[in-house]
Amino acid sequence: MRELFTSRMPNDMQQTLASPATLEGSSLHTGEKVTLTIKPAPTNTGFKFRRIDLDDQPFIDADVDKVQTVERATTLAEGSVKVHTVEHVISALTGMNVDNAIIEMDANEPPIGDGSSAPYVELIKQAGIETQDAPRKVWEVREPLHLETPSGSIITIVPDTKFRVSVTNVGPEGRFTQYFSSEVTPELYEKDIAPARTFVYYEDVKPLLDKGLIKGGSLENAVVVRGEEIMSKEPVRFQNEFARHKALDVIGDLMLSGKRIMGHVICVAPGHGPNTQMAARIKREYTSMRSQVPPLTIPQGEAVLDINDIMKILPHRYPFLLVDRVIDFEGDNKCTGIKNVTMNEPFFPGHFPDHPIMPGVLQVEAMAQVASVLMLRRPENQGKIGYFMSADNVKWRRPVLPGDVLFIEAEITKIRRNIGVATCRCLVNGEVVSSGNLKFSLLDA
C-alpha cells in the first residue's frame, strides 16, 4: 500500500479556538448536570479531554488507543479515568476545521444537548476560530483501505481530492434504510450534518431504560424508533436524518486516528465499533508509512559513520556502494547501516521499470557491505578487501520499493584467521524484508 503524506491542503493551516467557551447541560447516561468548556491549545496538540472534577484534573487524549468501549457510544479511558460519548464534540471540532483544543468537563460525559452536534458547532462559533502558524497535515489516501465486520458493517476509504463521507444506514430487518453523501467542509457540516440527531431503536434501549441506565435520555435529545413509528419531540429534520447522524458519528470516530485524511469514506451500516476499528487501521497504516526510522538511540561521535567514513573502509563506489550511513554499533561484532532507496537508483530503469523493485541480490550485497564494515574496521584488517565466499539460507520476504529506507543489520558470528561469517538481515518499517548468512574472505588489497 502506498499513500502520500501531504503537508497541507491549499490555504490550510492548523486552527484552534480564539477563546474559551462553555456549554452546560445534562449527560445522556447519568442524567447529571455537566459543564463543558472548550479551550485553545498549541499547534500539534490535537484534542484532549480533561476531567476537572477529579483531584489531579487528568487529561485523556482523543486517541483510538484509549478507546475502551464502543457500545452505543465511544468511551475513552486512561487507567480508571473515563470519558463517555466523545464522538459528537470531536465530530463538531473536526467538521468545523479545528485541529487543536482542550475539552474540560466536570463530569465523565459531555452534555447530550438535542442529540446532535449542532450545540457544539454553536459553541465553536461562540469561541471563534484562530489560525495558527503551523501547516495542517493531511494524509492523502492513494489506495483503498477496507474493513468488513462479521456483523455486516462495511467501511472503505478510497482516493479523493477532498474529504467526503457517504453513508448507507440499515436498521434492523432493513428498516429505515437511508443514504447520505457529502463533502465535509465547515459550511456543509454546519448545515447538513451537525443538526442530525442521534436515534435509537426501542427494542435495543428498553432493557437499559428498565435498568435506569439512560437516565438523561428523552425525546428531546434522541429520536426513538418503535416498529415503523418515529417518536420525537419535533418532526424529523431531514428525510435521511439517520444516515446523516451516522455520518456525524463516523467523522468523530475516525478522527480518533489523530489524522485528517483526504479521501472518500464509504460506509454501509457503520457503528462505533467498526468506525473505531477503521480509525485504528488509519493510525496503523499512517504510522507504518511514516516510521521509516525505527526508534533507535543513535550514538554520536565516532560510533556513527557517515558516507565519507564508509568510503575510507570499503573499496566500493557509486553506483555499487549500497550503504549510506552506519548508525549503531554494539560492541565489535554488531552494527546497523541504512540505505535510502530512491527512485533515482541506477537499477530501477531496467529492473521492472513499470513496477520498480530493488533486486534481491543487491540487498544481499548491502548486507555484505555492512558486515564488511564490521570486519574491516578492526585494526588488524585495515587496508584489506572482503570477498564473498558463500551465502546460505538467503530469504526474501517482501519487495523493497522506491521511498523505502533499508535498515541493514549485521552480526559477526565467527572469525577464524582471514575468514569471517556474519548473520545479516534487512528491514523496512521494522519488518524483515530479506536475510541470510554470509561468509567472507579478507585479502590484502
Indicate if 258 and 316 belong to the same structural domain.
no
Separation CA 238–CA 231 (nearest Å): 14
The answer to whether position 379 is within a domain reads yes
Indicate if 244 and 316 belong to the same structural domain.
no
Q: Which of 290, 312, 328 is the last residue of a domain?
A: 290
pLDDT digits (tens, 9 = 90+) for 58-80: 999 999 999 998 877 899 999 99
Q: Which of 88, 316, 351, 355 is catalytic?
A: 351
Separation CA 6–CA 47 (nearest Å): 21
- The DSSP result for 316-337, as a single string, is --TTS----EEEEEETTTEEEE
Indicate if 394 and 276 belong to the same structural domain.
no
The answer to whether position 256 is within a domain reads yes
Q: Which of 245, 264, 272, 316 is catalytic?
A: 272
Indicate if 191 and 87 belong to the same structural domain.
yes
The answer to whether position 295 is within a domain reads no
Cell of 330: 554494539
Separation CA 103–CA 60 (nearest Å): 10
The answer to whether position 335 is within a domain reads yes
pLDDT digits (tens, 9 = 90+) for 220-252: 567 888 777 777 778 889 999 999 999 999 999
Indicate if 373 and 427 belong to the same structural domain.
yes
- 58 burial level (CB within 10 Å; 0-12, 13-18, 19+): middle
Indicate if 255 and 121 belong to the same structural domain.
yes
The question of whether 264 is a catalytic residue gets the answer no
**Closest C-alpha among 359, 161, 190 to residue 264:** 161
Cell of 197: 440527531
> Domain containing 231: what range?
4-290
Question: How many domains are contained in the chain?
Answer: 2
Q: Which of 224, 257, 290 is the last residue of a domain?
A: 290
pLDDT digits (tens, 9 = 90+) for 162-212: 999 999 998 887 788 999 999 999 999 999 999 999 887 766 666 555 555
Separation CA 235–CA 54 (nearest Å): 40
Indicate if 62 and 142 belong to the same structural domain.
yes
The answer to whether position 296 is within a domain reads no
Indicate if 276 and 307 belong to the same structural domain.
no
Contacts of residue 234, defined as CB under 8 A and 6 or more positions apart, other chains included, come to none
Other beta carbons less than 10 A from residue 179's beta carbon: 11
Indicate if 50 and 120 belong to the same structural domain.
yes
pLDDT digits (tens, 9 = 90+) for 23-59: 999 887 667 899 999 999 999 999 999 999 999 999 9
Q: What is the CA radius of gyration of the chain?
A: 28
104 close to 22: Cβ distance less than 8 angstroms: no
pTM: predicted TM-score of the whole model, two decimal places: 0.67
The answer to whether position 370 is within a domain reads yes
